Amino acid sequence: MNQLTSDKAKQIIAAALAHAKSTGCPPMGVAIVDAAGQIKAFLREDGATALRFDIAMGKAVASVGMGCSSRALTELQTKIPVFFSTLASSTSQHFIPQTGAVLIKNTDGTILGAAGASGGTGDQDEAICIAGVVASGFTHA
């Protein structure tokens, strides 16, 4: 499994949202981006608020753009806040360094993209992304 296809992106979303339902999360949005930060798939559940796409996309783009989970970015931005505010305002894509996105990697560790979610707490968002990535047969970071 070496590619993040559209079908695989849809599988990640389906598994992530199934996990969200099973754990009592509020209505969610989940975005899958490829290694260039370009959208592969997105779904905003019925009842999810309007900004779920922008937030999920921003978390996923930040994760893949910096090569680490958005949890790691959340921790790093406390150490160098000026860098992160400058980066967020100067990139051409959404960039939200908040917990709720993980890298999608193949079995040899190559970064294929990222999954980002929005709608719950950062921990809930991250957990559903991890569940979706693992259920699809990829690994995460």
3-state secondary structure of 34: strand
Q: What is the mean pLDDT of residues 118-133?
A: 98
The whole-chain average pLDDT of the chain stands at: 95
Q: What is the mean pLDDT of residues 106-128?
A: 97
pTM score, two decimals?
A: 0.94
Are 59 and 100 in contact, with CB atoms under 8 Å apart? yes
Calculate the CA 108 to chain-centre distance: 20
Q: At what angle do helices 70-77 and 122-135 cross, to 10 degrees?
A: 150
Domain edges within the chain: 6-136
pLDDT in the model for residue 101: 98
pLDDT in the model for residue 128: 98
pLDDT in the model for residue 10: 98
Element (H, E) at 125: helix 122-135
Q: Does domain 6-136 have CATH number 3.90.76.10?
A: no
Percent of the chain with pLDDT over 70: 99
| pLDDT tens, residue by residue, 13-53 | 999 999 999 999 999 999 999 999 999 999 999 999 999 99
| Cα-trace Rg, the chain | 14
